[in-house]
């Protein structure tokens, strides 16, 4: 059994090197290969990775074609029974790859497995999620209602920030920073590959939706923990632009799931209003205190 670890690099030589180094240092219980896809970085020559890590496979993409396309290029060269999409800003602190592969190998009905993640400050990242819906948005808007429920029921109903990420949980989607799936699953997706319609952000939701449609379960596994630095810019203007893009992708996913009827109209009205207000509050807090709200 072997896992193909695919990492996308775009102008993050130090972060990516640290990520690769952590995979090599801790992965002991399973065979693996590391496939590094460089998306036309200009920071340095991608060949520098081979000088430091001669055992990896390096794919030099002549264009920065995005996260999904880059991963598909890696999958084309993968020889593993399992594929792990691993963000370049993650760090392993134990043999997370082997633990997750062992868990997945005995459960053929699971299409995608995610693991527990911490931010670099030690706080839990909300990586097990429900798809957005009218009911979820309203409960999140009036969040005192979920907190009237017993924890177990609230966690399973809402996931995300309502879930402690301390137990196995079937969910709708998991964060793409650590995204493990059997090679055979990709062949059952539309086009027999990862959907490339999004350049970046929202792909993990889209792929999980398609995996569920193919009859697979999506599972969060807390038996191992990695660090996800989440190295995005803290500049308010950049953050606002990012959030707008993510909102667009959320709406596109909802449109794919529910069509463009009355349900979509109501969802868009509630979701856009709520998130616009929330983003405004986050930007004000940042400007006044310098604190970045998650």
Predicted confidence band at 75 (pLDDT cuts at 50, 70, 90)? very high
Residue 294: the pLDDT is: 55
pTM over 0.85: yes
Residue 256 above 50 pLDDT? Answer: yes
Buried b (16+ CB within 10 A) or exposed e, 235-259: eeeebeebbeebbebbbebbeebee
DSSP for the chain reads -EEEEEEEESS-HHHHHHHHHHHHHH--SSEEEEEEEEES-SSS-THHHHHH-TTSEEEEESS--HHHHHHHHHHHT--SSEEEEE-TTEEESS-HHHHHHHHHHT-TTEEEEEEEEE-TTSPBP--EEPPP-HHHHHHHHTTTTGGGS-HHHHHHHHBGGGS-S-S-EEESEE-TTEEEEEHHHHTTSGGGS---S-SSSSHHHHHHHHHHHTT-EEEEEEEEEEEE-------HHHHHHHHHHHHHHHHHHHHHHH-SSHHHHHHHHHHHHHHHHHHHHHHHHHHHH-PPP-
Joined tokens for residue 261: 């009827």
Residue 293 above 90 pLDDT? Answer: no
CA distance 203 to 246: 10
Residue 240: the pLDDT is: 66
Residue 278 above 90 pLDDT? Answer: no
For the stretch 161-201, pLDDT in tens is 999 999 999 999 999 999 999 999 998 999 899 999 998 88
Where in the chain are the domains?
2-127+165-228, 236-289
CA distance 209 to 249: 13
65 vs 55, higher pLDDT? 55
Residue 233: the pLDDT is: 41
Does 2-127+165-228 carry CATH code 3.40.50.12140? Answer: no
Residue 41: the pLDDT is: 94
Which one, of 185, 179, 209, lies nearest residue 71 by Cα?
179
């Amino acid at each position: 059994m072997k896992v193909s670890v695919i990492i996308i690099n775009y102008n993050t030589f130090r972060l990516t090197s640290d990520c690769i180094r952590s995979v090599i240092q801790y992965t002991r219980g399973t065979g693996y290969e590391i496939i590094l896809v460089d998306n036309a970085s200009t920071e340095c020559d991608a060949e520098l990775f081979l000088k430091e890590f001669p055992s990896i496979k390096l794919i030099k993409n002549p264009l920065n074609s995005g996260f999904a396309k880059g991963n598909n290029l890696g999958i084309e060269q993968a020889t593993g029974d399992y594929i792990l999409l691993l963000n370049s800003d993650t760090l392993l602190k134990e043999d997370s790859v082997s633990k997750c592969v062992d868990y997945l190998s005995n459960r053929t009905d699971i299409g995608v497995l995610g693991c527990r993640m911490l931010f670099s400050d030690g706080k839990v990242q909300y990586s097990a999620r429900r798809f957005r819906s009218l009911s979820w948005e309203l409960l999140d808007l009036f969040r005192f209602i979920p907190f009237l429920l017993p924890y177990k029921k609230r966690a399973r109903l809402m996931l995300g920030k309502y879930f402690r990420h301390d137990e196995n949980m079937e969910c709708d989607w998991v964060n793409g920073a650590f995204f493990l799936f059997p090679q055979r699953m990709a062949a059952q997706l539309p086009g027999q590959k990862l959907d490339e319609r999004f350049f970046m952000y929202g792909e993990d939701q889209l792929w999980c939706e398609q995996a569920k449609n193919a009859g697979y379960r999506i599972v969060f596994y807390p038996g191992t923990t990695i660090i996800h630095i989440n190295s995005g810019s803290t500049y308010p203007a950049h953050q606002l632009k990012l959030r707008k893009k993510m909102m667009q992708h959320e709406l596109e996913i909802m449109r794919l799931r529910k069509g463009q009827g009355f349900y979509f109209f109501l969802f868009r009205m509630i979701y856009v209003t709520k998130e616009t207000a929330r983003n405004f509050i986050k930007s004000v807090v940042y400007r006044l205190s310098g604190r970045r709200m998650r």
